[in-house]
């Protein structure tokens, strides 16, 4: 792989760009609006509804998001959260009913016309009767400053099947062709809509390694997924969507923390539960045999108070809420609820 000149040049630029990106990140840390530093993607009050069979579906109910250039961001949410609609608005494929969308400092259509956008869309099949190499060659010819076709094929792991007809490719290979189609434009923004659907574990790992290599060149990457682990492992920042709204936005560790509840388990026999539940930071107390379980709103305060009052407590374990629990808790939102619930109001 390192034999390709463009790849080597890319590697040489990575450190440089990383330093720049870090500088930008540091500069923007103090400010609330990150896009002051470098507006890559901005959605302001974007709303989109559509009709299906007489019913109105409120796909996106007003989202405000801004993503700095060079960031890798996951749009995480269950099916029907509004991820794909958001992506379609980012790509200029649909216009918001109200609100605004800008991509690389202008309307999405301009960014697309200038070849700054590469996208991997959810799709049924690849078009037939062509080879991946021909497909990429044609795609490259449409863009002002594309990658070498051979490099794109290699980055997507398609060199061996480059001259096979698309209808003879496996599902995973077809998915990699879609990835290569997005890459070959060498776009400033790479948008991936549920890119690893249909890939096995190994293919996924290879795929994300390629995406990381691409992002490391200072590119903006936005991907939609309903796989928690992917968002956690590959994004700098996670935008959690549910029912057309952003319900949480930040690093995955922050999102975990937002759910807030940690539990303390300890062996502490013969203590009245009522005295435990009034300790600072404890929301509820329970007992399983000799073990007590404290559900905490502030586990730090609770553990201090527990040890202060009962130094004999032993086998102490403090567990954070898993990302999975955070995900379920933040995205459980009833269809007919008109306004955000109190919990979500507190969070947003």
**14 sits near another protein (criterion: CB under 8 A):** no
Q: 179-182, long-range: CB within 8 Å, 24+ apart, which pairs? A: 179/120, 179/207, 179/210, 180/132, 180/136, 180/152, 180/153, 180/155, 180/156, 181/118, 181/120, 181/135, 181/136, 181/139, 182/118, 182/119, 182/120
Residue 67 CB, nearest approach to another protein (Å): 18
d(CA 240, CA 238): 6
**138 sits near another protein (criterion: CB under 8 A):** yes
Decide whether 123 or 348 has the Cβ nearer to another protein.
Answer: 123
Residue 157 CB, nearest approach to another protein (Å): 20
The two structure tokens encoding residue 300: 């730090």
**101 sits near another protein (criterion: CB under 8 A):** no
What is the number of alpha carbons within 13 Å of residue 106 lying toward its C-beta? 8
| Cβ–Cβ under 8 Å, residues 153 and 4 | no
**177 sits near another protein (criterion: CB under 8 A):** no
With contacts defined by CB under 8 A, name the span among 54-62, 89-97, 292-300, 335-343 that binds another protein.
Answer: 89-97
| Cβ–Cβ under 8 Å, residues 140 and 184 | yes
**124 sits near another protein (criterion: CB under 8 A):** yes
Residue pointed to by tokens 């998001």: 65
In order, the DSSP letters of 70-108 are: T-EEEEE--TTSSHHHHHHHHTTSS--SEEEEEETTB-H
Residue 108 CB, nearest approach to another protein (Å): 9
Which of 141, 170, 253, 341 is the binder for another protein (CB under 8 A)?
Answer: 141
**92 sits near another protein (criterion: CB under 8 A):** yes
**142 sits near another protein (criterion: CB under 8 A):** yes
**122 sits near another protein (criterion: CB under 8 A):** yes
**58 sits near another protein (criterion: CB under 8 A):** no
Residues in contact with another protein, total (CB under 8 A)? 34
Q: What is the DSSP letter of 222?
A: E
Residue pointed to by tokens 């690893």: 196
**53 sits near another protein (criterion: CB under 8 A):** no
Residue 230 CB, nearest approach to another protein (Å): 21
Residue 109 CB, nearest approach to another protein (Å): 10
In order, the DSSP letters of 43-55 are: EEEEEEEEEETTE
Residue 256 CB, nearest approach to another protein (Å): 33
Chain residues in the site for another protein (CB under 8 A): 84, 88, 91-94, 112-115, 117-119, 121-130, 134, 137-139, 141-144, 178, 181, 185
């Amino acid at each position: 792989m390192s034999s390709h000149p463009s790849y080597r040049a890319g590697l040489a630029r990575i450190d440089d760009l990383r330093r720049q990106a870090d500088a930008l990140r540091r500069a923007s840390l103090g400010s609330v609006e990150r896009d002051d530093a470098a507006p890559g993607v901005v959605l302001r009050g974007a709303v989109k509804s559509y009709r299906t069979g007489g019913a109105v579906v409120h796909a996106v109910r007003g989202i405000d998001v801004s993503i700095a250039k060079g960031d890798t961001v996951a749009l995480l949410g269950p099916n029907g959260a509004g991820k794909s609609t958001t992506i379609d608005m980012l790509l200029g494929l649909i216009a918001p009913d109200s609100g605004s969308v800008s991509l690389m400092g202008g309307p999405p259509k301009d960014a697309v016309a200038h070849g700054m956008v590469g996208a991997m869309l959810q799709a049924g099949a690849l078009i037939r009767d062509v080879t991946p190499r021909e497909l990429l060659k044609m795609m490259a010819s449409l863009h002002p400053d594309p990658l070498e076709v051979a490099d794109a094929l290699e980055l997507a792991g398609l060199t061996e099947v480059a001259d096979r007809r698309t209808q003879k490719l496996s599902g995973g290979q077809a998915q990699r062709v879609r990835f290569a189609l997005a890459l070959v434009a060498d776009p400033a923004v790479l948008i991936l809509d549920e890119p690893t659907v249909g890939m096995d574990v190994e293919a996924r790992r290879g795929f994300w390694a390629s995406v990381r290599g691409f992002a490391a060149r200072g590119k903006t990457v936005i991907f939609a997924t309903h796989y928690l682990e992917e968002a956690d492992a590959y994004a700098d920042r996670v935008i959690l969507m549910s029912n057309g709204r952003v319900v949480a936005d930040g690093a995955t560790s922050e999102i975990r923390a937002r759910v807030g509840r940690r539990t303390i388990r300890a062996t502490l026999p013969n203590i009245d539960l009522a005295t435990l539940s009034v300790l600072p930071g404890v929301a509820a107390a329970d007992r399983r045999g000799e073990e007590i379980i404290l559900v905490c709103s502030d586990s730090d305060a609770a553990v201090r108070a527990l040890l202060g009052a009962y130094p004999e407590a032993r086998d102490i374990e403090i567990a954070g809420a898993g990302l999975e629990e955070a995900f379920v808790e933040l995205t459980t939102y009833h269809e007919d609820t008109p306004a955000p619930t109190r919990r979500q109001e507190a969070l947003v």
